[in-house]
A and B are shown apart, each in its own frame.
Chain A
């Protein structure tokens, strides 16, 4: 019923993927689903081992504890050091990781996970169910914003019947759990090292000990973070690389050139102008994906302040929606990377309602609606002014384009740029704006990143909540019901109803489904860019690397 477009395009053409595909089909047929990762390891004896992969990132993380923050730069590095109970495949479906299998019972109220017995922390201590219980109760539920917001109220207990079983009991059935357990949403930390300490200030945050494919080696602040291969990784012989170096290169054009000159092998974010430069370069591959450590399945969204006139009037919002030319924005602001948005959920997710129409601009109709709503133009042609509060670094060009588009129907956008930090405070904490803009990320499940934007319980002074101040009890109950419904098909229907209601009322203006281009040298193979754990299977042909 719902087509799911794989978010990654370039890997389809990956030579190793092609040669492997027939073997994989057999392997998947022959083995149980939870055995699939062993199969991948067994059929890869020919892979090139060793080598150093240099990754360029635009921002340096402030610390390396992924369980206390949702910050993208932190997760970009730590997703290679830690593990979640489950992983996510290319279609954001849960696959085994620290948990080798699970059982859902009690109508979706009880989840029982059987954990792998061969996992060791990087310091040699064994991983057990006690680590999971501790990480959730003492760290994630207190400090990881999304996990705290999503689970805390509904979770009744976490039980450890034996060292290799952990049971989550909920007050109400809770369907989204499995998609909230990957290394980004719920990384598991070692209890024996964090117990009894303050996880916000623990010095371990600068030299983390995890269970993942790479171990922390050293961190030269301002320069690079070096991770070394974990020889005891539970999915041996992975990883194949000897070292993974994350280097902070804050200037985007220079970082793109560094891939070209082979100073680095992989760039985790290629912006529009640099994408134009790298697109035709020999020896470099660009991979596009809607998922990433900093946020998956994101939509650039305008936030109208519904608490005040004129944006509390649905006719005004309808008119604005009709003026916005999304295709133009994709082409000119995003250099063609991304798609015009059709609603609150990214179209590459299974939860997207395919019945939603494209949003086409119609300035004449918009002007008519504004006239009917009593917003006549004055002598200078202006109907009303809106203060647009936005982060100059991410949305400066968009602001100029929107100002021009809205001017066509006599709406004057007063541009009020600031830096990211100041914008978050004005829009989300103080609600001091008419129109704001944010990149809202859906995440793999609507319960993680969609509900928070539209549910009236989330009209709170918190970053990236329901910033518009939208209230609709029908929409609230659809989101609540979907979270408690176990069947995915039924959940899809509930989310489809919510999407239709939202598109009718336009509490936000969804502009562009953003995608991220990543660039890497052709010598690099086996990247899993849809997953936070991008480098577990990566290999590099070092012979062509400059030292």
Chain B
């Protein structure tokens, strides 16, 4: 097992190296440059040339890649071209907001697993109710975050005036103590739902399908014959055996989480990494784009690894030698 983890981590390093090289080439081949963003008018060609040289953009691509790689080898992600500060600092200050949002959305998404199991349980007992539940899940899977986000804002902020819609805290000043947490929680609810609903629906669907499949198998019939309580049959036997499927799905959904975070943070003015990524691309802030790219890649790879390990812990048949 340890050898497996070590091998995967080593592969992650190789993958990161490939991502950085390909990413560096890709962002530098994009038309435009950070000067056009930072200085939307330049006085004369000499001014433009001065700024290019100031940012080191007049040097050949290979030389710039070498400088960047050298910095990386020394644990230095470089400086953001637009903010003039170390990339590590720029990224670090945006991580808590994104972790909070993603964490809350993950909790919402995970509730899809028991929901799927319950739906599976009622599939034969109350087929009508179950079918309407399933229909809701289908709608949930198809709702893109930008649309759902705006709908939630229209209903719960503009319409019912129940919840704030923008930012992580109130614009007119941050409350202290407990009130501050209340304020953040109120701001968190709508974006977390927006980001969490799609994976919730997806997890519930696959769990439901898998549990229905398992409930038909012989060992369940045997358990029931032995007099095991129906609740225990569902939770301990059927759901436990079904778990590797939703977990693998969750791990493979890294793309959804990154894309979803970008959209959700933009719609709700949430001060996280997703928005930073968009701004970095629009500004052609190469070091910042690469920093976020590496962080995203690492997060996805580690999530996959964690899911693999979890799946193998849950299902002894999945063994990593």
- Residue of A with least CB distance to B183: A547
Partner of A71 from B38, B153, B167, B169 at Cβ < 8 Å: B38
Also in contact, A223 and B32, with CB within 8 A (given A257-B165, A261-B158):
no
Are the CB atoms of A70 and B40 closer together than 8 Å? yes
Are the CB atoms of B269 and A547 closer together than 8 Å? no
- Residue of A with least CB distance to B35: A463
Q: Which residues of B contact A349 (CB under 8 A)?
A: none
Proximity bits, A235-261, B CB within 8 Å = 1, else 0: 000000001010111110111011011
- Residue of B with least CB distance to A457: B44
Are the CB atoms of B94 and A264 closer together than 8 Å? no
Q: Which residues of A contact B173 (CB under 8 A)?
A: 52, 243, 245, 547
Partner of B31 from A146, A148, A418 at Cβ < 8 Å: A418
Are the CB atoms of A263 and B166 closer together than 8 Å? yes
Are the CB atoms of B31 and A261 closer together than 8 Å? no
- Once bound together, how far apart are the Cα atoms of A429 and B278, in whole Å? 24
Which of A310-318, A328-336, A419-427, A512-520 participates in binding chain B?
A419-427
- Once bound together, how far apart are the Cα atoms of A152 and B47, in whole Å? 12
- Once bound together, how far apart are the Cα atoms of A422 and B54, in whole Å? 21
Also in contact, A222 and B275, with CB within 8 A (given A247-B166, A247-B171, A263-B166):
yes
Are the CB atoms of A254 and B153 closer together than 8 Å? yes
Q: Which residues of A contact B32 (CB under 8 A)?
A: 419-422, 424-425
Are the CB atoms of A146 and B39 closer together than 8 Å? no
Contacting A at CB under 8 A, from B94-121, are: 94, 97
- Once bound together, how far apart are the Cα atoms of A86 and B149, in whole Å? 45
- Once bound together, how far apart are the Cα atoms of A243 and B158, in whole Å? 26
- Once bound together, how far apart are the Cα atoms of A397 and B300, in whole Å? 37
Also in contact, A421 and B166, with CB within 8 A (given A145-B41, A146-B41, A146-B43):
no
Q: Which residues of B contact A425 (CB under 8 A)?
A: 31-33, 36
Proximity bits, B48-92, A CB within 8 Å = 1, else 0: 100100100000000000000000000000000011110000100
Partner of A222 from B31, B38, B267, B272 at Cβ < 8 Å: B272
The answer to whether A125 has its CB under 8 Å from any CB of chain B is no
Are the CB atoms of A421 and B93 closer together than 8 Å? no
Q: Which residues of B contact A220 (CB under 8 A)?
A: 271
The interface centre, meaning the residue of B54, B82, B168, B171 with most chain A CB atoms within 10 A of its CB, is B171
Proximity bits, B256-272, A CB within 8 Å = 1, else 0: 00000000001111011
- Once bound together, how far apart are the Cα atoms of A54 and B278, in whole Å? 24
Also in contact, A257 and B266, with CB within 8 A (given A148-B47, A222-B271, A461-B48):
no
- Once bound together, how far apart are the Cα atoms of A255 and B167, in whole Å? 10
Are the CB atoms of A245 and B172 closer together than 8 Å? yes
Q: Which residues of A contact B44 (CB under 8 A)?
A: 148-149, 460, 462
Partner of A547 from B39, B157, B168, B172 at Cβ < 8 Å: B172
Are the CB atoms of A251 and B38 closer together than 8 Å? no
The answer to whether B170 has its CB under 8 Å from any CB of chain A is yes
Are the CB atoms of A205 and B84 closer together than 8 Å? yes
Are the CB atoms of A152 and B43 closer together than 8 Å? yes
The interface centre, meaning the residue of B37, B276, B283 with most chain A CB atoms within 10 A of its CB, is B37
Q: Which residues of B contact A62 (CB under 8 A)?
A: 37-38, 82-83, 283
Also in contact, A149 and B171, with CB within 8 A (given A62-B83, A254-B153, A419-B32):
no
- Once bound together, how far apart are the Cα atoms of A402 and B154, in whole Å? 33
The answer to whether A545 has its CB under 8 Å from any CB of chain B is yes
Min Cβ gap B150→A in Å is 6
Are the CB atoms of A149 and B167 closer together than 8 Å? no
- Once bound together, how far apart are the Cα atoms of A200 and B167, in whole Å? 30
Min Cβ gap B47→A in Å is 6
Are the CB atoms of A251 and B267 closer together than 8 Å? yes
Are the CB atoms of B41 and A258 closer together than 8 Å? no
Min Cβ gap A200→B in Å is 6
The answer to whether B30 has its CB under 8 Å from any CB of chain A is yes
Min Cβ gap B148→A in Å is 13
The interface centre, meaning the residue of B43, B153, B157, B164 with most chain A CB atoms within 10 A of its CB, is B43
The answer to whether A455 has its CB under 8 Å from any CB of chain B is no
Partner of A263 from B42, B97, B154, B165 at Cβ < 8 Å: B165
The interface centre, meaning the residue of A60, A206, A222, A254 with most chain B CB atoms within 10 A of its CB, is A222
- Once bound together, how far apart are the Cα atoms of A201 and B38, in whole Å? 12
Are the CB atoms of B172 and A462 closer together than 8 Å? no
The answer to whether B230 has its CB under 8 Å from any CB of chain A is no
Are the CB atoms of B170 and A70 closer together than 8 Å? no
- Residue of B with least CB distance to A226: B173
Proximity bits, A463-485, B CB within 8 Å = 1, else 0: 11000000000000000000000
Are the CB atoms of B171 and A245 closer together than 8 Å? yes
Are the CB atoms of A421 and B37 closer together than 8 Å? yes
The answer to whether A224 has its CB under 8 Å from any CB of chain B is yes
Proximity bits, A73-94, B CB within 8 Å = 1, else 0: 0000000000000000000000
Min Cβ gap B265→A in Å is 8
Q: Which residues of A contact B276 (CB under 8 A)?
A: 222
The answer to whether B213 has its CB under 8 Å from any CB of chain A is no
The answer to whether B284 has its CB under 8 Å from any CB of chain A is yes
The interface centre, meaning the residue of B54, B149, B271, B278 with most chain A CB atoms within 10 A of its CB, is B271
Are the CB atoms of B167 and A223 closer together than 8 Å? yes
Partner of A60 from B33, B84, B170, B279 at Cβ < 8 Å: B279
Also in contact, A462 and B38, with CB within 8 A (given A60-B279, A254-B166, A257-B165):
no
Min Cβ gap A7→B in Å is 22
- Once bound together, how far apart are the Cα atoms of A260 and B40, in whole Å? 32
The answer to whether A279 has its CB under 8 Å from any CB of chain B is no
The interface centre, meaning the residue of B36, B85, B284 with most chain A CB atoms within 10 A of its CB, is B36
Q: Which residues of A contact B269 (CB under 8 A)?
A: 223, 247-251, 254-255, 258
- Residue of A with least CB distance to B166: A258
- Once bound together, how far apart are the Cα atoms of A261 and B40, in whole Å? 34
Q: Which residues of A contact B171 (CB under 8 A)?
A: 54, 224, 245, 247, 263-264
Q: Which residues of B contact A205 (CB under 8 A)?
A: 84
- Once bound together, how far apart are the Cα atoms of A204 and B41, in whole Å? 22
Contacting A at CB under 8 A, from B132-163, are: 149-150, 153-154, 157-158, 161
- Once bound together, how far apart are the Cα atoms of A528 and B271, in whole Å? 29
Shortest 5 CB-CB contacts between residues of A and residues of B: A421-B32, A222-B271, A54-B171, A148-B43, A422-B31
Q: A60-B279, A462-B41 are in contact. List 16 more A-B contacts (CB 8 A).
A: A70-B39, A72-B40, A152-B43, A200-B51, A220-B271, A221-B90, A221-B94, A223-B168, A223-B169, A255-B166, A255-B269, A263-B171, A419-B32, A420-B282, A425-B36, A461-B45
11 A/B residue pairs, CB under 8 Å, sorted by A: A71-B38, A149-B44, A200-B84, A206-B85, A221-B93, A243-B172, A257-B154, A257-B165, A463-B36, A545-B172, A547-B172
Using a CB–CB cutoff of 8 Å, the interface residues on chain B facing chain A are: 30-33, 36-45, 47-48, 51, 54, 82-85, 90, 93-94, 97, 149-150, 153-154, 157-158, 161, 164-173, 266-269, 271-272, 275-276, 278-279, 282-284
